[in-house]
């Protein structure tokens, strides 16, 4: 699944570009789309913009693939409000990040997610990314949450195959683990992860989709080849805070305007040169 960027033009959501991206992603073989996650600039979109972007993706996808709506917040009530709005918009599921900055306890995390699920029951993927949130959802807590209705997966973005194995062991098949880190996706597949919510697939959707398809077909030689083909690109897409580099790549490819919401600013200087060179090497720009 692709964690879609939110294209912008003149300070507003670029609906035309977003619709094009949805069609291109589906045509390339992506199995699902995540609208307005971290890559979609959820921290700096207004509540209204957030829901508009989700609606655009749902409308353009036309049920060809599932659309998972980012609907998390560090405020439980705001997460509930977003979840209800995304459910009303027709989302197939929700992505719920751990509350950031205020650092709840494990019990607080359990209560937070349970409250959201009770208010807006939809298939829900938990999202653990402590490097961004300052909050780590422990494998044991995920195991307790897996007992709740509608928890179907966890986006595991610590970048640790060991952590993925711990979650799989605690959850005993009750939910699926999805890689939230492109560089370690193949390693997580090898220990039982069932997919990836990818940043890189904004740029190379066919390769990311083909890598997972190869794993499903037990063709790990092909999967490894695809992994190493895009490894340098994956590294460069995190050379600065996501989604700065991925939006720069899509702009260089002529797909979106070079706009991002402050306090993030467009990629420039030597980092932009390095990214451009890699896109040239892959034949994505001339």
Is position 127 annotated as part of the catalytic site?
yes
CA distance 278 to 232: 8
Name the catalytic one among 87, 144, 155, 247.
155
Q: What is the C-alpha R_g of the chain? A: 18
What count of other Cβ atoms lies within 10 Å of the Cβ of residue 245? Answer: 24
Angle at 274 between CA 204 and CA 180, to 5 degrees: 45
Residue 260 lies in a domain: no
| pLDDT on residue 171 | 86
Query: Which residue stretches of the chain have pLDDT < 70?
Result: none
Q: What is the pTM of this model?
A: 0.95
Q: Quick check: helix, strand or coil at residue 272? A: helix
Residue 155 lies in a domain: yes
Q: For the segment 197-241, what is each residue's pLDDT rounded down to a tens digit?
A: 999 999 999 999 999 999 999 999 999 999 999 999 999 999 999
Is position 265 annotated as part of the catalytic site?
no
Residue 109 lies in a domain: yes
Instruction: List the CATH number of the domain containing 34.
Output: 3.20.20.70
CA distance 258 to 254: 10
Domain that holds residue 150: 2-218
What count of other Cβ atoms lies within 10 Å of the Cβ of residue 134? Answer: 14
Residue 6 tokens read as 């939110």
How far, in whole angstroms, is CA 133 from its chain's centroid? 15
Residue 50 lies in a domain: yes
Total tally of structural domains belonging to the chain: 1
Using alpha carbons, select from 53, 42, 113 the residue that is nearest to residue 80.
113
Name the catalytic one among 62, 84, 110, 127.
127
| pLDDT on residue 173 | 83
46 DSSP 8-state letter: -
């Amino acid at each position: 699944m692709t964690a879609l960027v939110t294209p912008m033009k003149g300070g507003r959501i670029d609906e035309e570009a977003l619709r094009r991206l949805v069609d291109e992603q589906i045509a390339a073989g992506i199995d699902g789309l995540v609208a307005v996650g971290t890559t979609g600039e959820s921290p700096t979109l207004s509540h209204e913009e957030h829901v508009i972007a989700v609606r655009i993706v749902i409308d353009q996808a036309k049920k060809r693939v599932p659309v998972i709506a980012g609907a998390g917040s560090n405020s439980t009530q705001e997460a509930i409000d977003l979840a209800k709005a995304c459910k009303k918009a027709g989302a197939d599921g929700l992505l719920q990040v751990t509350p950031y900055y205020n650092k709840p306890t494990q019990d607080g995390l359990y209560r937070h997610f349970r409250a959201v699920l009770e208010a807006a029951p939809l298939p829900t993927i938990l999202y653990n990314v402590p490097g961004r949130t300052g909050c780590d959802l422990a494998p044991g807590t995920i195991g307790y949450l897996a007992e709740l209705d509608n928890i179907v997966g966890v986006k595991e973005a610590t970048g640790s195959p060991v952590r993925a194995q711990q979650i799989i062991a605690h959850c005993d098949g009750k939910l699926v683990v999805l890689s939230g880190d492109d560089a370690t996706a193949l390693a997580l597949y090898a220990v039982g992860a069932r997919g990836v919510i990818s940043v890189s697939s904004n740029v190379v959707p066919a390769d990311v989709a083909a890598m997972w398809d190869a794993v499903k077909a037990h063709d790990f030689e092909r999967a490894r080849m695809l992994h190493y083909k895009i490894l340098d690109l994956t590294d460069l897409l995190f050379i600065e805070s996501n989604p700065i580099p991925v939006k720069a790549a899509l702009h260089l490819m002529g797909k979106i305007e070079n706009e991002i919401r402050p306090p993030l600013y467009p990629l420039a200087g030597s980092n932009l040169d390095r990214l451009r060179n890699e896109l040239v090497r892959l034949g994505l720009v001339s």
